[in-house]
Structure 1
Amino acid sequence: MKWMIPALGALALVTACERSSAPAPVPGGLRIAAWNIEHLAAENGMGCAPRDDAGYQRVTAIIDEVGADIWLLQEIENEAALARVFDPSQWTFHVEARPAGEQDDYPLCRGRDDGTRLTMQSTAIAVRRGIDHVVLPALTELDVEGQDRLRWGVAITLTGEAPLDLMSVHLKSGCFSGDAASACPVFFDQVPVLESWIDERSAAGRGVIVGGDFNRRLEVEGDSVWLDLNDGDPAPLRLAGAGISPRCNPRYAEFIDFLVLNEEAARFKVDGSFFETTFSGPRERHPSDHCPIAVDVRWPG
């Protein structure tokens, strides 16, 4: 099938000085993006990155600018939150079904003294309507503690001549490098779960793309986690933006958000198509503390 990519204009209230330009989509291609939208709540003023109407509109403007057909998303409260920034008539939502607790059970936001509490932080996928796909079982095993606190992987398959499996992940935070941090034992328990999911599909000859917030600097030379994931069995993996440094925040020289492609999916990646959409202007007007990343593929769906 042909992937139809309509041109979408950014909202007028977001000026050029507040965003950067994304490259035009490749004709006939499929654009896949990943973005941790930072505590995207369903209601104004809620969560640890509370937004007003203009804040939600800034998020929508970036979504329109990137022009992706599929979004692998993190830190989403629920479908209602997605409907604040994606037009439900144009998009299909798949949100992690991990049980949400009562609002009073969530911790207070760090660095705030107004009583604001954390909201549910789920993984999700948004698919432009018209793209044929089916929902796969969530990778619930990523909740290695079994207490509904660790995020599941949400997955779909693009159907057609050559199935392509896509998953949104948000791994345990705090083990960004090395193995000494207190979060590392839990994080390291998640890695073989994700590796097994990728390897099983790769061994069956399926294309696989896993995207999202890995909370790990996988491109640091000799990183043990990347070496485990990319052990060549049954086939090598690729980072869509390998060798490209992030520009989202000058404090950080290494990505922790990635689009990981198995060998079959990498065959269809458009050379040079990986990009990161960054923000300028005052930090308090940035739509998230993470910047979207995206890649184009010519998938024979």
Structure 2
Amino acid sequence: MATWNFEWLTLKGDQRAGVRHQDDYQQLSSIFVQLASDVLAFQEVDSPEALARVIPTEAYNVYFSDRYAALKDSTQSQQLTGFAVRKDWKVDDPRDLRQIALPGFFGVPSLRYGTYIVVTPPGQEPVHMLSVHLKSGCFKQAQASRSCEKLRKQFSVLADWVREHGDKNILIAGDFNRYISEKQDPFWQQFRQSLLDDASRPTNIINVTESVRARCKARRYNWRTQTWNQVMYSRLIDHILVSESLASRWQYSFQHHFAYHNVMNFRLSDHCPVVATFKPQ
């Protein structure tokens, strides 16, 4: 199982960070092959055509956010969530977790949907999975900023979804835009404790990427100077959360670090993929 925010994986050419050439896609595809993941939760992908430049469609089925149907003809690139799953695995594709987009008074969402699928590996029990991309701008602070308030509401929506599926195998993966692995993070503590304290169905959710060492080398485009800058992200915002039933099968987790040469010579992403490995039942 892996999660990867591709940073504007798009073929539309309207995003400077999304302009890639054939050799860039080949490098991304090579990294995906190295991950050898049966399931990938992805974020910031505009279309199946863009994803097909990275993921071999002869080996994987792709499940996009429900928003894709409404946005596929847009001339502007979209940041959509979704999954790629090996073709010999059974998958059900229910409706997205739309509430996590925090729709306004007229029902228009301001944020990204959580893509929801139910995956049944061969000879195993189903796993209810979400691919999420939460609100940015509240990485560690707890003050009442607009970004933090939205992120807090999104964690509340996630908690409600977990309660609804608490008797099942659960996996939530993606870009949380929050350092929830760090000691006593208030958002993570409140989320987890609210589930444990539920009198009707206490649920233990575990972050199996909690101890992953983040050392993601990348390049970021600086709009002010119109140059690419080298960066090193040493704090993790991409996580994989699982129910206790799956945590008992968890073996190890890691972040795939891009080679320095590849970062400097190819347009990759400002996120390194994060991988969790589980024992079969």
TM-score normalised by L of structure 1: 0.78
Q: Is the 8 A contact 1:40 1:47 kept in 2?
A: no
Aligned AA for 1:171?
L
Q: CA deviation at 1:39?
A: 0.3
Deviates more, 1:93-102 or 1:288-297: 93-102
For residues 251-290 of structure 1, what are the structure 2 equivalents within 5 Å? 251-270=232-251, 273-279=252-258, 280-281=260-261, 282-283=263-264, 285-290=266-271
Q: 1:178 aligns with which of 130, 138, 141?
A: 141
Q: CA deviation at 1:286?
A: 4.8
- Cα distance, 1:156–1:176 mapped onto 2, change above 3 Å: same
For residues 106-185 of structure 1, what are the structure 2 equivalents within 5 Å? 106=76, 119-146=77-104, 147-159=108-120, 161-180=124-143, 181-185=145-149
Aligned AA for 1:245?
R
Q: How many Å separate the matches in 1 of 2:280 and 2:165? A: 17
- Residue 246 (structure 1) aligned with residue 214 (structure 2): yes
Q: How many Å separate the matches in 2 of 1:150 and 1:235? A: 27
Q: Percent identity, aligned pairs only? A: 29
Q: Which sections of structure 2, spanning at least 5 residues, go unmatched?
A: 218-230
Q: How many Å separate the matches in 1 of 2:124 and 2:52? A: 31
For residues 1-301 of structure 1, what are the structure 2 equivalents within 5 Å? 32-43=1-12, 45-49=13-17, 50-98=19-67, 99-100=70-71, 103=74, 106=76, 119-146=77-104, 147-159=108-120, 161-180=124-143, 181-202=145-166, 204=167, 206-231=168-193, 232-233=196-197, 234-249=202-217, 251-270=232-251, 273-279=252-258, 280-281=260-261, 282-283=263-264, 285-300=266-281
Q: CA deviation at 1:244?
A: 2.7
More strand by share: 2
> Secondary structure at 2:94's aligned position in 1?
strand
Aligned AA for 2:255?
E
Aligned AA for 2:39?
I
Q: Is the 8 A contact 2:47 2:72 kept in 1?
A: no
Q: How many Å separate the matches in 2 of 1:131 and 1:228? A: 35
- Cα distance, 1:94–1:101 mapped onto 2, change above 3 Å: closer
> Secondary structure at 1:190's aligned position in 2?
helix
Q: Which sections of structure 1, spanning at least 5 residues, go unmatched?
A: 1-31, 107-118
- Cα distance, 1:46–1:83 mapped onto 2, change above 3 Å: farther
- 1:128-166 CA-to-partner distances (Å, cap 9, x unmatched) read 110112112210001113423311111111236522111
Q: How many Å separate the matches in 2 of 1:158 and 1:102? A: 29
Q: CA deviation at 1:126?
A: 0.4
Q: Is the 8 A contact 1:42 1:82 kept in 2?
A: no
Aligned AA for 2:79?
Q
Q: How many Å separate the matches in 1 of 2:72 and 2:10? A: 14
> Secondary structure at 1:188's aligned position in 2?
helix
Say which structure, 1 or 2, has more relative contact order (CA 8 Å, 6+ apart): 1
- Cα distance, 1:161–1:243 mapped onto 2, change above 3 Å: closer
> Secondary structure at 1:156's aligned position in 2?
strand
